[in-house]
Amino acid sequence: MAKEILRLEHIQKRFGDGDSSITILKDISLTLKKGEFIAIVGPSGSGKSTLLSIIGALLSPSSGNVILDQENIAAYKPSKLTSVRKNKIGFIFQSSNLVSYLTVKEQLMLISDISKTGKKENVKKATDLINHLGLSHRSKSYPAKLSGGEKQRVAIARAFMNDPDIVLADEPTASLDSERGKQVVEMISHEVKTRNKAAIMVTHDERILHLCDRVLRIEDGQIFEKI
């Protein structure tokens, strides 16, 4: 039986004070298991990105529990949240956010430098990820020489570089055409399954939802399973 890696319990998020406060998330609960890849959909302003930020330890909830790998990170101080992001979470953004003056391999090695783990081990890990995602011929290339799909593949490799428990993808296909978008999501799914990780993807792209294990919908700050 797959191990539960994430559990959200009655998450609420409010912005502002007193009468001027706005509740973005209302009583959100969900679970995520290792090997599972879920999508979250919903209209603009429904709270998708806010929820992803809370799961990714970028924001703290106003109330509720965020239990990641059996630890409740909801009340962690900023310094401890930084450690959670560094060691337990990988991020893939709408834009690949690559560093213009670093080669493909250097992009990945930057993550290992931040994590301060063994360099020899990480050189091998970076090389394996680059080869696995079909980028070996681009290892020494700079972002300006890469296609949009290649940049997102580098972003996927980078997200898995710190061996995270969870990968969070925010609109990873938004800047890609249909075929490249499908390939990118297939790659995320493949990495999740083969490495026994978990992933959550926020998306507006209905064309790639069939590649996910579950689809959840947020509307008016509440979440439910999409049938």
Mean pLDDT along residues 36-52: 91
Pairing of strands 198-202, 37-41: parallel
Across 107-116, 139-148, 161-170, least confident range: 107-116
Mean pLDDT along residues 145-164: 88
Residue 118 pLDDT grade (very low, low, confident, very high; cuts 50, 70, 90): low
pLDDT for 114 equals 61
pLDDT for 122 equals 81
Percent of the chain whose pLDDT exceeds 70: 95
Angle at CA of residue 69, ends 92 and 182, nearest 5°: 30
Total number of domains constituting the chain: 1
pLDDT for 18 equals 65
- Could you give the count of Cα atoms lying within 13 Å of 164 in the half-sphere of its Cβ? 28
Percent of the chain whose pLDDT exceeds 90: 48
Print the domain residue range for 202.
4-225
Whole-angstrom Cα Rg for the chain: 18
Q: How far is CA 67 from CA 9, 13, 88, 196, 211, in A?
A: 8, 16, 12, 18, 26
**CATH number of the domain to which 207 belongs:** 3.40.50.300
* Residues 61, 46: Cα–Cα separation, whole Å: 16
pLDDT for 169 equals 93
* Residues 73, 5: Cα–Cα separation, whole Å: 13
HEC letters along 122-141: HHHHHHHHHHHCCCHHHCCC
User: Residues 125-138, buried b or exposed e (16+ Cβ, 10 A)?
Assistant: bbeebbebbebeeb
Mean pLDDT along residues 32-58: 92
Query: 46-92, pLDDT tens digit by residue?
Result: 889 899 999 999 999 999 999 999 999 998 988 899 889 988 999 98
Residue 137 pLDDT grade (very low, low, confident, very high; cuts 50, 70, 90): very high
Across 82-86, 109-113, 212-216, least confident range: 109-113
